[in-house]
């Protein structure tokens, strides 16, 4: 997460607000189809599977598996050097890019079991991060 | 095509105009012959339908800015060929131009600055996923984990392409590169070193398409289109969907081989979209030149380079030649099929396969070209 020194003025918009509001309350909130129960990475307006309009925001389990990761060596203002970007796949079957926390995350094995965690004091808004669980 | 690289102080429209003038001269056509204009929309404000006015084209019957990211080239060729076949246009200009490089701005910054942080895209800025390096690195790392692919194997692709570039006067990179140089180049986003990543270029490329009948009267030997296909597999955000591991090249390639009535063994030269070394490796697998997962072992013997059994990206590609999206492979395809590639000309040049790739392996196009009308 960049600090003010990153020069990026970040804010989320109304379409994605439930994700960020959920994160502020310590929950990974994703979208799910009320008709066929397919989980989706936001923002979708109809179900990616059955195309029903019944797409709702729901708290997910927060459990995920590490799908891939990259240690980023390019330097950007406000970011540590280096830092990690990871792709995770949640137990609900939704995949997205995020970051990892904990010891030696640069060498974390693909396939590691993860749990989302949240820092309610993070500025300008809380982001999900993932930590390896036994 | 125009000169490529760190050429400052010119607009994209200026480069595009020069590229089109060069293509007209090359073909032996006048501006007034042109009745179709397709622009490769790439986010550059000049690559917009209004470019027609800046170029002074009038009374066109085919005109559009087309955008499927790096796969646009094949969609443009496909659209132009269908329009030509239907008699909707007679001479269609396809053009790509860009000027991302400014004095004292690095390549990464040149593209990262274009980010738009709407919707969930704000997460990219928050986590630090700027530009294409990270998402492609994530796909490559996944491939490594699944199949044991190594950085040295990716490096073999970069080395082979540099060898080709050394014979291309249009290429931006003109110093030799060894595998050790590749390994010693700075890490960008693991597993990628700097030399796994494409260049950034200012410049433009224009290609003119017409019917085989009309081409007989033009100045250059014709390059016959045998197939133009697309595949857009979607994103990777659902479990079970892995366009970064099995790309659209599989579907588009199978369809293109069937349409052209050839097999991959008939292909003499490959011009594969190469935003990263990994893109070449995964595309080779998906076209079936080797089995899925065996791309690393397939390329490490240098067969893609000069003198190798599968000449690939013979102008140096976007890694060592110039970065004009799909117009890099297409421009080298034209030169090789015509037999005009100079020192780097491949002796057997009957069939050339050229690819486009966009997004993070989300959009693919395949075109197959021949020296022969049938």
Model confidence pLDDT, tens digit, residues B2-59: 999 999 999 999 999 999 999 999 999 999 999 999 999 999 999 999 999 999 999 9
The rounded distance, in Å, linking the Cα atoms of B197 and B190 is 11
Q: Token pair 């459990």 is at which residue?
A: A63
Q: Token pair 């012959």 is at which residue?
A: B33
Q: Write out the catalytic residue numbers of B.
A: 273, 323
Model confidence pLDDT, tens digit, residues B80-104: 999 999 999 999 999 999 999 988 6
**Buried residues in B58-94 as b, exposed as e (16+ CB within 10 A):** eeeebbebbbbbbbbbbbbbbbbbebbeeeebbbbbb
**Contact yes or no for A70 and B120 at CB 8 A:** no
Q: Which of B135, B136, B73, B82 is nearest to B364 (CA)?
A: B73
- Domains of chain A listed by start with CATH number: 16-132 (2.40.50.840)
* pLDDT tops 60 at residue B114: no
Nearest to B126 among A1, A42, A68 (CB): A1
Least CA distance to B193: which residue of chain A?
A73
Least CA distance to B242: which residue of chain A?
A95
The rounded distance, in Å, linking the Cα atoms of B47 and B206 is 13
The rounded distance, in Å, linking the Cα atoms of B57 and B260 is 33
- CB A103: neighbour CB atoms within 10 A? 9
Model confidence pLDDT, tens digit, residues B135-185: 999 999 999 999 999 999 999 999 999 999 999 999 999 999 999 999 999
- A36 near B CB under 8 A: no
Angstroms from B239 CA to nearest CA on chain A: 5
Look at residue A4 in the predicted model and tell me its pLDDT: 46
The rounded distance, in Å, linking the Cα atoms of B126 and B96 is 32
Look at residue B119 in the predicted model and tell me its pLDDT: 77
**Contact yes or no for A93 and B239 at CB 8 A:** yes
**Contact yes or no for A13 and B122 at CB 8 A:** yes
- CB B303: neighbour CB atoms within 10 A? 16
> For chain B, what is the mean pLDDT?
95
* pLDDT tops 70 at residue A1: no
- For chain A positions 61-80, those within 8 Å of chain B (CB to CB) are 67-74, 76, 79
* pLDDT tops 80 at residue A3: no
Nearest to B138 among A10, A41, A70 (CB): A70
Average of per-residue pLDDT across A81-95: 97
Angstroms from B34 CA to nearest CA on chain A: 42
Look at residue B281 in the predicted model and tell me its pLDDT: 98
Per-residue confidence band for B109, with pLDDT thresholds at 50, 70 and 90: low
Look at residue B106 in the predicted model and tell me its pLDDT: 61
């Amino acid at each position: 997460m960049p600090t003010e020194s990153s020069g990026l003025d970040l804010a989320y918009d109304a379409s994605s607000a439930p994700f960020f509001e959920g994160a502020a309350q310590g929950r990974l909130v994703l979208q799910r189809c009320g008709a066929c129960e397919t989980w989706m990475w936001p923002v979708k307006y109809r179900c990616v599977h059955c195309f029903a309009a019944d797409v709702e925001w729901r708290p997910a389990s927060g459990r995920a598996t590490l799908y891939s990761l990259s240690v980023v060596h390019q330097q950007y203002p406000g970011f540590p050097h280096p830092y990690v970007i990871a792709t995770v796949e949640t137990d609900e079957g939704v995949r997205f890019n995020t970051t990892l926390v904990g010891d030696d995350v640069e060498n974390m094995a693909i396939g590691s079991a993860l749990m989302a965690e949240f820092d309610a004091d993070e500025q300008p808004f809380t982001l999900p991060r993932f930590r390896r669980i036994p | 095509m125009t000169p490529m690289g760190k050429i400052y102080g010119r607009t994209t429209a200026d480069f595009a105009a020069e590229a089109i003038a060069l293509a007209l001269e090359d073909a032996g056509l006048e501006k007034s012959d042109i009745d179709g204009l397709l622009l490769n929309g790439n986010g550059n404000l000049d690559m917009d339908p209004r470019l027609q006015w800046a170029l002074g084209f009038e009374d066109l019957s085919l005109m559009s800015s087309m955008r499927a990211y790096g796969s646009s080239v094949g969609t443009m060729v496909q659209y132009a060929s269908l329009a030509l076949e239907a008699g909707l246009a007679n001479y269609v200009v396809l053009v790509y131009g860009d000027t991302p490089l400014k004095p004292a701005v690095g390549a990464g910054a040149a593209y990262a600055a274009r980010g738009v942080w709407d919707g969930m895209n704000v997460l990219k800025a928050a986590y630090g996923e700027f530009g294409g390096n990270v998402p492609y690195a994530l796909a490559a790392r996944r491939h490594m984990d699944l199949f044991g692919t190594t950085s040295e194997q990716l490096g073999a692709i970069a080395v082979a392409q540099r060898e080709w570039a050394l014979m291309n006067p249009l290429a931006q990179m003109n110093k030799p590169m060894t595998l050790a140089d590749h390994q010693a180049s700075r890490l960008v986003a693991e597993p990628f070193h700097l030399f796994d990543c494409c260049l950034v270029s200012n410049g433009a490329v224009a290609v003119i398409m017409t019917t085989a009948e009309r081409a007989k009267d033009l100045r250059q030997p014709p390059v016959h289109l045998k197939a133009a296909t697309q595949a857009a597999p979607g994103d990777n955000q659902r479990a079970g969907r892995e366009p970064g591991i099995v790309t659209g090249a599989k579907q588009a390639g199978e369809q293109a081989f069937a349409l052209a009535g050839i097999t991959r063994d008939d292909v003499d030269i490959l011009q594969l979209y190469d935003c990263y070394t990994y893109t070449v490796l995964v595309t080779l697998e998906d076209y079936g030149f080797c089995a899925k997962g065996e791309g690393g072992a397939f390329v490490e013997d240098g067969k893609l380079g000069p003198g190798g059994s599968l000449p690939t990206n013979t102008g140096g590609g976007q890694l060592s030649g110039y970065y004009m999206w799909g117009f890099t492979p297409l421009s080298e395809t034209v030169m090789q099929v015509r037999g005009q590639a100079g020192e780097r000309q491949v002796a057997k040049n009957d069939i050339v396969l050229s690819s486009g790739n966009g997004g993070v392996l989300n959009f693919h196009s395949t075109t197959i070209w021949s020296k022969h009308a049938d």
